[in-house]
Structure 1
Amino acid sequence: MSDLPRQAGLLSLADFIRFFIKTLIGIALARILSPADLGTYRQLFLIYGTLSGILLLGFPQGLLYFIPKSEDLEHTKRLITRTMHVVSILAVLCALIIFFTRFLIARSFNNPDIAQLLIPYSIYPLFLFVTQMYSSIMLGLKQPLKSASFAIFAIACDFILVLGSALIFEDMRYIVGALILSALLQWLWAEWGIRHLKTGWSLSNFTGFKEQLAYTIPLGLSLLVGVLSVQLDKLMISGFFKPEDFAVFSLGAMELPLIGILVNSVNSTALPHMSSGNKTELAAIFSASVRKNSIIVFPLASVFFIFATEFMIFFYGAIYASAALYFRVYLLILPLRVATYGIVFQALGKTRLVMIDSIIMLCLNAILNFVMIRLYGMVGAAIATVIVSWLIVIVYLLQMRYSLGFKLLSMFPLKSMLINLCAALLPVIIVLPVSGFITHTFLRMFLGGSLYMLLYFAIARVLKVIKPCDIDLALSFVSGIWKRGK
């Protein structure tokens, strides 16, 4: 367990760099492209994200479960080899679906221009499916440094090629070409990195595949439902509104990416250690991650809620100021992100239960989204997503208590979390009126945000929300990064 914070910190750093560069790309494209072209660009990723979520099933996440359980290196090689064979077939299937449904997609999205772009874009999954497996393999082998290095390389390729093509040509055709070239370079890295972990083609590689499918398919279906639940509002907005409207909605209708970086990094490194099935150890790891996550989640949710409009104007321009409304609605999901509840079921192999829950919630989300969009327009989709997100967490908690037999108080440090919530809300009383006197958008966001963070840190230290061990861990992590940088 002692290595978990360092591994999580390393992945968090890599993901933060990735997030930072990805944000720069998004900011630049929002200012270079027209709203219609930006909407088209983001719809391309909506298509890929949805299809990859459907077709990859739970193979990447399944490797985090099976690799640590491998008997020896040969067993690991057979597992990786057969998984890569299957994923390559799924990549071809994804490419064919994109190519042959391009006109249907264009009509459904009210975007005739996207049909021609989907012809070259259909090549994209042939490379990206394999690269998505690379990180899971490295994390399953408990080699987070390789996973982190690859993440930085991948986003650097996107930054240089995609942003470069946008600046030079300002044409979506060249931008799509740059995306494919970037994906090719990432694929070459991944193939080279796992070359020694693959064996030749043999039927013996598929020994144990039935067990893998028994775990992966239910997990994959639940993840599929999760992907559709996340993408559902965006898919419906694409169907009801124009690409330029989708551009505004998609910029705002997002959870704070920094939170996802933190939670995903902790979960990715924790799951291999939680897969032993020891409930006491699992609860201890889970509780520790919840407490640490809440120290980040609560203040960030608060400060971004206050300065949502300034955030959108500064980064994307005044034309996208209305995206702040959707951003604030999505921030109401953040308190749930102190933990990823499905990881407990995943670690205990109870993926079927997660699948059933997710299917029910997807159906509810689809109905609620349709009704709310009809009643309230684009903001209705965001509200529906928030409501369903809270409902499914309540269901997970009830099942963790009554189906898995966990004592929730052993997994959630409620007292610490409530005190932390108070510490996050108290600075708002001072920051709101003070920031109102600052007229410049950037200065209001920067100075107001800085004041909030200083007040939160002071209050959290007084209330003992932030412990000395948390500060020591943060300082040691920064020091370690500095030494590696030198």
Structure 2
Amino acid sequence: MIKKLKQLLSRYGKGRSAKSIHLAISQSFIALLFIFVDFVFSKQLTVANFGFFKEVFFILNLGIPLATFGIPEGYKYFIAKEKDYSFYFKNLTCVLFLIAAGILGFIGLLHLLHVANFIDLKQYFGVSFLFPLPLFFFILNQSLRYTYINLDTTALLTRLSAYGAVLSAILIFAITFSLAELTTYAVLLPVVIYSGIFGFPVLFYYIKAPVQPSKASFEWASVKKMLKYGFPLYLATFAGLLSVYLDKLIVSLFENEATFAIFAVGAFEIPLFAMLSAAFSQQIFPSMVSSIDKGNYDEAQGLWLQTTKKVSMITYPFIVICMFFADDIIYFMYSSAYEDSIILFKTYLLIALFRNNSYGILLTAKGETKIITIVSVSILGINLISSLVLYYFYGIPGIIYGSLISTLFMWSFYLNKEKMFGAYFREIIMNKTLIVLTILVLLFYFL
């Protein structure tokens, strides 16, 4: 059996789809670890305490990408364009150390204000000095993944990711078995877990990195290049993250921790969908940059459509299954205490229908990042207004309806901008298999 599997991987391992699947698998390790964390700690902690646990992850997920100023995106673009991996990675790492030092200084200032009784850091006092650690590991993880993708070594990336996932799982098991003694470190635990999940793979990525260390000195000109390209994407990321986490932000402001926990459980997109979309888009990004540089824009559009169809064929059946078994998934993953999360979870599955590719990747590959910033800010505004209005009339579910509306606006804008509505309609919407799957999703949602 193992011999046959190796033969299949050898036969198809050079195809673009196989490489994308490798990326999806390597990313799924992280998603599965976070699912496992939810599965374990939702059963061992009270609803309120679990809500606080999720709040720390919420702060890290929202704060980390906002502290990078778009440098990783600039790195991703220029290694695809210029192929000078070690030089750009060295500059990226130097800037990352500077950012971490700046954050430490800011946290130190907050602690001084706490001591002077101007603010109250509560449980975050002291422990927040560790926040640069998950930042450092997250960005290194992301950037090294970009390097392996551009070097076309996705099989090696998958294997190294598996090694890191094993060490992360051991860490989570160790914390689980010692949870009774560690409850006084409620803030520290999610920080350590987050750092481990992203940090352990970094050790293997760095040791096995198939590039030689750069002997060139740090160069501000290269950093400026990465910033010039990446900063508009950073602003777009800022707006995009606020849009993604806007629902949780509204609930955290207007509801208690127990309600936040229930909402956070329901407002949960199955990581597989985002992982597959990200994996396939990351895989085709270097090819799209190359095609556009050569003036073959139709080729880049065709590649995007082909990839969107492939991802849809994988994710839509999973959405149908998750929609049908939504009750069982929530009860198994969490408990009957989170029954109110089911309708929220099913509504988020509707949003997953649009997680079949990166819709701004064509503009990114063309270097038109300012447009993405404008779009992201506009979508944030639409999300904010629609979520607050619908929250007022329909309560918690209205917030998710607002997210769905803003997603539809985003989808329609990018297709219209690229003049791809017709091609998308023919290739994706009118595909017989996808039509049947979409009908089943809607049917199970309203049942």
For each residue in 1:193-249, what CA deviation from the matched residue of structure 2 results, as whole angstroms up to 9, or x when unmatched? 45954335725x344443322211112211221111111111221222222221111
Residue 202 of structure 1 aligns to a residue whose secondary structure is coil
Worse-matched range after superposition: 221-230 or 298-307: 298-307
Residue 310 of structure 2 is matched in structure 1 by 292
**What per-residue deviation string (whole Å, max 9, x for no partner) do you get for residues 283-308 of structure 1?**
22111112112212322222322221
Amino acid aligned to 2:16 = L
1:296-375 equivalences under 5 Å are: 296-375=314-393
For residues 90 and 140 of structure 1, do their structure 2 counterparts lie closer, same or farther at Cα, with a shift above 3 Å needed? farther
Is residue 3 from structure 1 mapped to residue 3 from structure 2 by the alignment? no
CA distance in 2, matches of 1:255, 1:227: 14
* Separation in 2, partners of 1:311, 1:202: 52
Query: Are the structure 2 counterparts of residues 196 and 289 from structure 1 closer, same or farther at C-alpha, using a change threshold of 3 Å?
Result: closer
1:147 pairs with 2:160: no
Give how far 1:117 is off. 4.6
The aligned counterpart of 1:238 is 252
Is residue 434 of structure 2 the alignment partner of residue 421 of structure 1?
yes
Q: How far apart, in 2, do the equivalents of 1:98 and 1:330 lie?
A: 35
Q: Paired residue for 2:213?
A: 198
Partner of 2:396: 378
1:321 deviation in Å? Answer: 1.6
Give TM-score, length-normalised by structure 1: 0.77
Following superposition, the deviation at residue 335 of structure 1 comes to 2.1
Corresponding position of 1:130: 140
Task: Give the SS at the match of 2:178.
Answer: helix
Write the distance in 1 (CA, Å) between the matches of 2:146 and 2:113: 33
Alignment-derived partner of residue 159 in structure 1? 169
Shift of 1:397: 1.5
Kindly provide the amino acid, as one letter, of the partner of residue 369 in structure 1.
S
Flag the 1:227–1:35 CA change in 2: closer, same or farther, 3 A.
Answer: same
1:248 aligns with 2:248: no
**Shift in Å, 1:5:** 0.8
Using the TM superposition, name which of 148-157 and 38-47 deviates more. 148-157
Distance 1:312 1:103 in 2: 43
Letter of the aligned partner of 2:300 in structure 1?
L
Tell me, in whole angstroms, the C-alpha distance in 1 between the residues paired with 2:244 and 2:390. Answer: 16
Q: Number of residue pairs matched? A: 421
Counterpart Cα distance in 2 of 1:305 and 1:264: 22
Unaligned runs of 5+ in 2: 1-12, 115-119
> CA separation of 1:309/1:61 partners in 2, compared to 1, >3 Å: closer, same or farther?
same
- The aligned residue for residue 83 of structure 1 is 92
- Partner SS for 2:386: helix
Query: C-alpha distance in 1, partners of 2:235/2:212?
Result: 27
Query: What letter matches 1:360 in structure 2?
Result: S
Quick one: structure 1 residues 389 and 259, their matched pair in 2 at CA, closer, same or farther if it must change by over 3 Å? same
1:17 Cα offset (Å): 3.6
Give 1:264 shift. 0.9
Deviates more, 1:366-375 or 1:112-121: 112-121
Query: How far apart in 1 are the matches of 2:435 and 2:370?
Result: 37
Q: What is the letter of the counterpart of residue 422 of structure 2?
A: L
What CA distance in whole angstroms lies between the structure 2 residues aligned with 1:318 and 1:104? Answer: 42
Structure 2 match to 1:459 = none
Report the CA distance shift for 1:309/1:259 in structure 2 as closer, same or farther (over 3 A): same
> For the Cα contact (< 8 Å) 1:32–1:167, is it kept in 2?
no
Identical amino acids, percent of aligned pairs: 22
Which sits farther off after the overlay, 110-119 or 36-45? 110-119
For 2:171, the aligned partner's letter is L
> C-alpha separation between the residues in 2 aligned to 1:414 and 1:195?
38
Q: Partners of 2:201 and 2:388 in 1: how far apart?
A: 38
Aligned-pair CA distance for 1:165:
0.9
Equivalent residues of 1:57, 1:220 under 8 A apart: yes
1:27 aligns with 2:19: no
Q: Distance in 2 between matches of 1:410 and 1:430?
A: 27
Tell me the SS of whatever aligns to 1:135.
helix
Equivalent residue, structure 2, for 1:257: 271
Cα shift at 1:63:
2.8
**Residues 47-91 of structure 1, C-alpha deviations (whole Å, 9 max, x = no match):** 1111112122333333332112226xxx43222211221122223
CA contact (8 A) 2:280 2:357 kept: no
Cα distance in 1 for partners of 2:438, 2:384 equals 33
1:364 CA drift (Å): 2.5
- Distance (Å, rounded) in 2 between the aligned partners of 1:382 and 1:180: 26
Q: Quick one: structure 1 residues 361 and 180, their matched pair in 2 at CA, closer, same or farther if it must change by over 3 Å?
A: closer
The answer to whether the 8 A contact 1:291-1:416 is kept is no
Larger CA deviation: 127-136 vs 34-43: 127-136
- How far apart are 1:420 and its partner, in Å? 2.1
In structure 2, the CA distance between the partners of 1:148 and 1:417, relative to structure 1 (3 Å rule), is: farther
* 2-structure distance, mates of 1:353, 1:309: 40
Structure 1 contact 271–343 (Cα < 8 Å) conserved: yes
Comparing 150-159 with 273-282, greater Cα deviation is found at 150-159
Q: Which residue of 2 aligns with 1:63?
A: 75
For structure 1, which runs of at least 5 residues remain unmatched after alignment?
402-406, 437-486
Q: Distance in 2 between matches of 1:430 and 1:77?
A: 51
Classify 1:274/1:13 alpha carbon distance in 2 versus 1 (closer, same or farther; 3 Å).
same
1:308-349 alpha-carbon deviations (Å, 9 max, x no partner): 122101221111121111111111212222222111111111
Q: How many angstroms apart in 1 are the aligned matches of 2:436 and 2:210?
A: 50
Instruction: Please name the residue that 2:66 is paired with.
Output: 54
How far apart are 1:167 and its partner, in Å?
A: 2.6
Distance 1:311 1:111 in 2: 36
Which TM-score applies when normalising by structure 2? 0.83
Match of 1:118 in 2: 128
The offset of 1:118, in angstroms, is: 3.2
In the TM superposition, what is the alpha-carbon distance from 1:142 to its structure 2 partner? Answer: 2.4
1:271 to 279, 285, 294: 285
Q: Which amino acid aligns with 2:391?
A: I
Amino acid at match of 1:86: V
1:120 CA drift (Å): 4.1
State the alpha-carbon separation in 2 of the partners of residues 430 and 388 from structure 1: 22
- Shift of the 296–194 alpha-carbon distance from structure 1 to 2, 3 Å rule, reads closer
From 53, 62, 75, the equivalent of 1:41 is 53
Bigger mean CA deviation after superposition, 238-247 or 111-120: 111-120
